[in-house]
Every structure is written in C-alpha cells, then in structure tokens.
Amino acid sequence: MLPQYQMKLAAISFLAPTLVVGLSACNRPHNQTNPNSAVTTNQPALHLHTNRLAREKSPYLLQHAHNPVDWYAWGDEAFARARAENKPIFLSIGYSTCHWCHVMERESFEDQKIGTFLQEHFISIKLDREERPDVDKIYMTFVQSTTGGGGWPLNVFLTPDRKPFFGGTYFPPDNRYGRGSFMSVLQQVAEVWRERHGEVAASADEIHTRLELATATVVASNLVLTADTVRRAGAMFKEAYDPKNGGFGGAPKFPQPSQPAFLLRHARRFKDDEATRMVLLTCDHMAAGGINDQLGGGFARYSVDAEWLVPHFEKMLYDNAQLLNLYLDAYLIRGEPRFASVARDIIRYIQRDMTHPDGGFYSAEDADSEGHEGKFYCWTHAELSKLLTPEEFNVAALYFGITKEGNFEDHSHPTPLSGQNVLSVAADVRRRPPDAQQNPPPHVGGYDDELLNSAKQKMFATRSQRIRPHLDDKVLASWNGLMLGAMARAYAVLGDETYRTTAEKNLTFIQTQLWNTKSRTLYHRWRDGERDHVQLLEAYAFQLEGVICLYEATLDPKHLDFAIALAESMIAKFYDAENGGFWQGAADSSDLILRVKDDYDGAEPSGNSVATLALLKLAAITDRADFKTPAETTLRLFGSKLEKTPQALPYMLHALDFSLEEPRRVVIAGDPQSATARALIHAAHSVYQPNKVVLGNAGSVEEFARTLPAKDGPMVYLCTGKACQPPTNDAQELRRLLISP
C-alpha cells in the first residue's frame, strides 16, 4: 500500500470530505459494513434503457446493461472517446455478487438524472474486478492510499489517459453519514475538471509517479530466510487468535484459510500442539456456524459477527476451494470424521450447484434473492412448524436454535423480513463430546438423529423450491485452478472416484476452452461459449498448482506434461528475471498504466505466492533448476516483507516452509492405474506431511525416479535426494514410513 498522503491541490482536496470510505460490505477484511442502507438488489426493473454493456459476457456488466448510464466496457473504445472529447473517465468497479454494488446501482445508476449527468460530463466505464484483478489492483491501491480504506464498489475518476485523481467506494444517493451525495460528488468533480483542468492533470501526473514508486517492488536483499521466520510468523498469528469463538481477529470475521493452514505447517515443524488446537477449534466453530450452509454445504464469504453466526451470504468458489483444503488438513491431522464430513459437504455443493455440465466451475452465488439478503437460506419459527412434524420440529428447533424472534434481520430492504433464523448448530449441541457428534445414539444431547435427518431432508427439499440467489456462471481459470487442486486432493485423501472424475473433467474444460496449445497461452475467463483475451499471473499460477495436485493424485504423465507447459509459459510471460518475482499482467497488457507485482495474500492468495510454492513442488518432481530458481528469487524478493509483515503473505510462508528442507519424494513405480498403485497413492496422501511430493517413475519426472523399478507389480520408494527407504508394495507400511521421522 502507498504511504498515505494528502492531495496538494485545493481544487481536488476540497472533495475529500465527501468520500465514503469503508461502507462496502463487498470488501477486504479490514473494512466495516453499513447495516442501514434502505435499498437492495434483484428487484424487478423496467428495462427502458439498453446500453452497450448488453453485448458483454460478464454477469456483472450485464447487470448494468439496462441502466440509463452510457456505460462502456474497459477498453480502447472508451479511452479513445475520452481523449477525443477531453472528458474525465468515471470508472466503477465491482462484481456480480457484491451486495453494496447492487445497492449503489439501485440508488444511483438506475437514476435517470445521474445517467444524464454522467453522459454529459464523463465517459463512464464498468469493470468486473473478477475478470480484471490487474486493473482493479492499480486503482484499489490508489483509493486505499488516499482514503485509508477500500472495497467494492470501487469508484474512481481518471484522466483520459487513465491516471486516477479522485476516488472512493460506495457513494450514497443523498447526504447521509455526514457525507455528500453521489450527485454532489459528480458535480464537484465536473466543476474541478472544467475550471482547473491543468491543476487536475498535474496532480494526476504526481499521483501516477507516487503509484509507480509504491508499486515498484524493491530489489531483493541479502536477507537469509530461515525457520526462525516461520517461527516468528506463527507466534504473531497466534496472538490474534480468538479463544472463545475460534478464528483470528474480530468482527467481521473472515476465514482467511491460508493463515490457519500455515499455522498447521508451523505446528508440525515446531511440534506446537497449541497452534494445532487453535486451528482445529476454528474449523469446528466455522463448521457449526451460520457461515457454513447447514443444509446445502459450502461456506459463505464471511461472518458479520465474531461468532461465525450471521454470514454475508454470498458464496465464492475461491473461499470454498481453500476451505476444502483446510478441512482435509484437519482430517489428516486428527483423523476425526467430522472434518472429512465438512469437506464432503463442500464438494457436494460444488458438484450440485457450481459446476457447468461440461466441467467448468462457476464463480459465485449472490447473498440476495427476491430483494432480501439471506432470504434463500433463512427460516422462521412458524414456517418450520408448518413444514415439519411436531417431533421433527422439536428436534430441529433444538439443534439449530430456532426461535420466534430469530437471530437475523435483513437491513438491506425498506421492509425487512422479521423473525428470520440463520441455521447454525446450537451451543448446547456443540458442547457434546466429539465422538457423540459423529455417531450419537438416539436422544443423546436431547435430540434424535433420525428425526433430525428427516427434518433436514424436508428443509432442503423445500428450500430447493425457493428462488435461488443470482449465480455468477463465468468460469475463471484462476479460481478453477484452486478448486481443481482441492478436488484432486480430496480424491487422493478420501478416495471417492467421483472427485477424480470431477477434477479431470474440469481440467479438460479448461484445456478445451481457455488453453491455446499452439501458442501455449492460458486465457482467463470463459462464459456462454466465449473466452476473453486476458492473461493473468494468477490464472497460470493457480492452474499450475491445481494440475500438480491432480498429477500427484493420479500420476498420469499427461498431467505432469501440462504442468510443465504452464510453468514454462508462466515464467516466459510474467517472471522478472532481473529482480525476481512475477508481474500480475503480461508485458503486452497495453491497457494498464502500471505493471504491478501482487504481494498480498488476502481472500485469495497472490499469484506470486502460489507460483512460488507450485514451482518449488514442480522442481522437486522434475529436478529442473529453471523452475526452482525463479521460486527462490521470488522468496528473496519478498524476504523483508515475510520478516516484517508476515500477515500480508501467509501463503508465501507455505512456500518458505517448503523451501527450508529437501522435500521427501514418494516415488510409486509401475502402472498408476492398477489397484495396488492406487492404494499406494491414497496411502501417500493419508498422512499430513505438506513438504513432500508424490510422483511416478514414468514421463517427465526427475531422472533418479525413472531408474526405480517396479517388481512384480507397483512398488513405492520413499526418497530424500538419492537415498531411499527399502521399497514396499504395502500401503500400511508406506504410512508407517511417512509417519516415522
């Protein structure tokens, strides 16, 4: 983030009091939410207007296709008109499941007066941040630097050459919260542009220079990263732990899966049982809370409270992919079936509701339906008492804590629904012993499991008839890579063949729709039969990690070959060979005013962090220095940040932890499709040991592995360097060897 600074020109600085900062609920973890807005989304609207966004594929842009605003998509057509007419650009960034983006659309962008004023004085551009995180990163950095906060919707004013000079997040339609209305902001910006154009341009140039300095990653230092870096980071994360509710930090509470997943690595390295307990208790509290869909599976974006009770109901593919991996880790560490059950529930949700018939994974589901946040998910006391038998109702009310008053009120609508209950496992039920939670006899803890299951089935069937929240059905190579890897790993750990089928079908979809074999180019977005032309580091990096996971779960040589092709192309297109690290966008991204290296692991891990760990793994499998060197130089580049502010890069700490020792290699020689080989693969993945790789002895693996023979069927060799344990074909013996030091 840029050092905060004040805009020096009075012509611009007098606008600052009208900025609305931190009112976006579609935000980064440090922002606040506004519970008092009176307007929401998904309301029927008369389509009196159709603008050029109607020809776009982004669900977010299509939501704005009937605004009385002369919207452009991000691109040359808009830039050329801004230059020709010398008008400032109004850039509005969001995504289709962003609640406060919907609020601002309803309040302002559907207002004819706003539309007319924008058309007269600005060139208006709508951008889907999920399709173009590289563009969003630049202007989010500007807004965070000049206002101290950020989130979506992100609204920024630019010169015709796309340099920012003023911005904020959500702007209200009238004077509220002690701030001016959106129209007053527009009027003031238009006046400043008209009356003091030269000063604005000079200020924008100065801001651009500051942005260049802020986003230019420093040259790698000579700092040597050691296990002490991992130790200190773990201690810092533990300080933020909430011992009552689990999780790290207060409300609003985000899962931030890369942080607890790192703590498990830390715990294993330093035999820190306390850190393990923190993470497992967090997993238990999240699973029991309203953030977890108790009927349909899958996790919501975050909880508005510290107890994980009331979620912001939108569901994101990237959250569920990372949480699937976290619950697999928890299951491997403790072997307790309840963690595997949560993982299976996530997968059921993804397979049922978030998968294209041809295999691609959709992006997200909205929080709102029928104009109310959470209406699809919540229940009233009266509704359930009519739906269920008295016996079922008594059990369900006890288990989920159903009351007449409810535990949630939707403030996003002029007439909030009353008595709404977010389903969560009641506190009395949570206090039952863990073994009783898994296989409780009837009436233990005051309820009958058969009645509870019957009630859940009726509730789920009834809920399935409700109007569903909006589905963002675009397929992103980046987020698909995260879920591909988690799904493949779930197959390796849990052994369900449908998980392998889902993973391989997904990869086929990506290779068919978004990968150009001839040019070895991976594009980012597919929707409704068309792909975009955007190339992003996170698309390559996340896919690379996912494909490596699929290779380790199947040992199919063609998956390793594809991983190598992705890695080679990623390095060629994004790697900074002079300083280390990876650029977020490709060199030929002519629509960017800056080239940035993403260095923040937030809701999603950064492309740099994922690329680093994936390349280290691939180097261990192939013994290729051209994969290992970029990873090591990237760690050095971000070394100071890992030392001083490790909370900014928890996923890169995974890569650091992996790099600290020679990884163990589980080499399975022989036909990977045979029953014996599959048993050995599952055994190799049945032990929590994050710093290992699993590979076969055929294809593009490292040379030493290719010398290890099968003997009357598949054999497994557990190796470090060129030293191996005696081979075995016994899965239990492999588990014993992996567990032993």
**pLDDT range class, residue 29, cuts 50, 70, 90:** very low
Whether the Cβ atoms of residue 229 and residue 643 lie closer than 8 Å to each other: yes
Q: How far apart are CA 60 and CA 377, in angstroms?
A: 23
**pLDDT range class, residue 740, cuts 50, 70, 90:** confident
**Exposure pattern of 539-558 as b/e (b: 16+ CB <10 Å)?**
bbbbbbbbbbbbbbbbbbee
Q: How far apart are CA 39 and CA 26, in angstroms?
A: 15
Residue 679: what residue type? A
Q: How far apart are CA 244 and CA 148, in angstroms?
A: 30
Give the closest residue to 170 by CA, choosing from 68, 301, 32: 32
Q: What is the pLDDT of residue 176?
A: 77
Q: Is the pLDDT at 130 greater than 80, yes or no?
A: yes
Q: What is the pLDDT of residue 180?
A: 76
- Percent of the chain residues topping a pLDDT of 90: 82
Q: What is the pLDDT of residue 16?
A: 44
Structure tokens belonging to residue 488: 């493949």
pLDDT digits (tens, 9 = 90+) for 55-95: 999 999 999 999 999 999 999 999 999 999 999 999 999 99
Residue 323: what residue type? L
Q: Is the pLDDT at 431 greater than 80, yes or no?
A: no
- Cα 367 to chain centroid, rounded: 16
Q: What is the pLDDT of residue 430?
A: 76
Q: Is the pLDDT at 735 greater than 90, yes or no?
A: yes
Mean of pLDDT values over 540-563: 98
Cα torsion through 237, 269, 494, 720, rounded to 10: 140
Whether the Cβ atoms of residue 24 and residue 172 lie closer than 8 Å to each other: no
**pLDDT range class, residue 442, cuts 50, 70, 90:** very low
Mean of pLDDT values over 238-266: 96
Mean of pLDDT values over 32-49: 42
SS (H, E, C) 361-385: ECCEECCEECCEECCCCCECHHHHH
**pLDDT range class, residue 219, cuts 50, 70, 90:** low
Q: How far apart are CA 313 and CA 318, in angstroms?
A: 15
Number of H helices, E strands in the chain: 29, 21
Q: What is the pLDDT of residue 35?
A: 29
Of 145-149, 212-216, 349-353, 608-612, the least confident = 212-216
**pLDDT range class, residue 26, cuts 50, 70, 90:** low
pLDDT digits (tens, 9 = 90+) for 312-339: 999 999 999 999 999 999 999 999 999 9
Residue 727 neighbours by CB under 8 Å, 6+ apart? 669, 708, 711, 715, 716, 717
Q: Is the pLDDT at 28 greater than 60, yes or no?
A: no
User: How many other C-beta atoms lie within 10 A of the C-beta of residue 560?
Assistant: 25
Structure tokens belonging to residue 190: 């238009």
Beta bridge partners of 332: none
Mean of pLDDT values over 491-515: 98
Whether the Cβ atoms of residue 72 and residue 89 lie closer than 8 Å to each other: no
Task: Write 670-674 long-range contacts (CB < 8 A, 24+).
Answer: 670/697, 670/710, 670/713, 670/714, 670/715, 671/710, 671/714, 672/554, 672/555, 672/556, 672/696, 672/714, 674/713, 674/714
**pLDDT range class, residue 590, cuts 50, 70, 90:** confident
**pLDDT range class, residue 107, cuts 50, 70, 90:** very high
Residue with tokens 């390793």: 560
Q: What is the mean pLDDT of the chain?
A: 90
**Exposure pattern of 3-24 as b/e (b: 16+ CB <10 Å)?**
eeeebebebbeebeebbbbbbb
Q: Is the pLDDT at 7 greater than 60, yes or no?
A: no
Q: What is the pLDDT of residue 391?
A: 95
Report DSSP state, residue 446: G
Q: How far apart are CA 548 and CA 554, in angstroms?
A: 10
**pLDDT range class, residue 413, cuts 50, 70, 90:** confident
Residue 469 neighbours by CB under 8 Å, 6+ apart? 42, 97, 313, 314, 365, 366, 367, 368, 369, 376
pLDDT digits (tens, 9 = 90+) for 267-305: 999 999 999 999 999 999 999 999 999 999 999 999 999
Q: What is the pLDDT of residue 448?
A: 79
Question: What's this model's pTM, rounded to 2 decimal places?
Answer: 0.92
Q: How far apart are CA 448 and CA 487, in angstroms?
A: 33
C-alpha separations of 38 from 274, 406, 435 in Å: 45, 21, 46
Residue 542 vs residue 221, higher pLDDT: 542
C-alpha separations of 397 from 376, 420, 428 in Å: 18, 13, 12
Helix (H) or strand (E) holding 612: helix 607-622
Q: How far apart are CA 118 and CA 186, in angstroms?
A: 8
Structure tokens belonging to residue 223: 């700092």
Of 220-229, 482-491, 503-512, 574-583, the least confident = 220-229
Q: 3-class DSSP state for residue 694? A: strand
Q: Is the pLDDT at 646 greater than 50, yes or no?
A: yes
Cα torsion through 433, 439, 443, 446, rounded to 10: 40
Number of residues in the chain: 741
Helix (H) or strand (E) holding 418: none
Q: Is the pLDDT at 42 greater than 70, yes or no?
A: no
Q: How far apart are CA 641 and CA 179, in angstroms?
A: 36
pLDDT digits (tens, 9 = 90+) for 691-724: 999 999 999 999 999 999 999 999 999 999 889 9
Domains of the chain with CATH codes:
10-215 (3.40.30.10), 246-353 (no CATH), 377-465 (no CATH), 662-741 (3.40.30)
Q: What is the pLDDT of residue 589?
A: 82
Q: Is the pLDDT at 6 greater than 90, yes or no?
A: no
Helices (H), 623-684: 625-637, 639-644, 650-659, 675-684
Of 606-610, 666-670, 736-740, the least confident = 736-740
Is omega for the bond preceding 663 within 30 degrees of 0, making it cis? Answer: no
Q: What is the pLDDT of residue 218?
A: 65
Q: What is the pLDDT of residue 95?
A: 97
**pLDDT range class, residue 220, cuts 50, 70, 90:** low
pLDDT digits (tens, 9 = 90+) for 189-209: 999 999 999 999 999 999 999
Q: How far apart are CA 363 and CA 322, in angstroms?
A: 14
Q: What is the pLDDT of residue 47?
A: 56
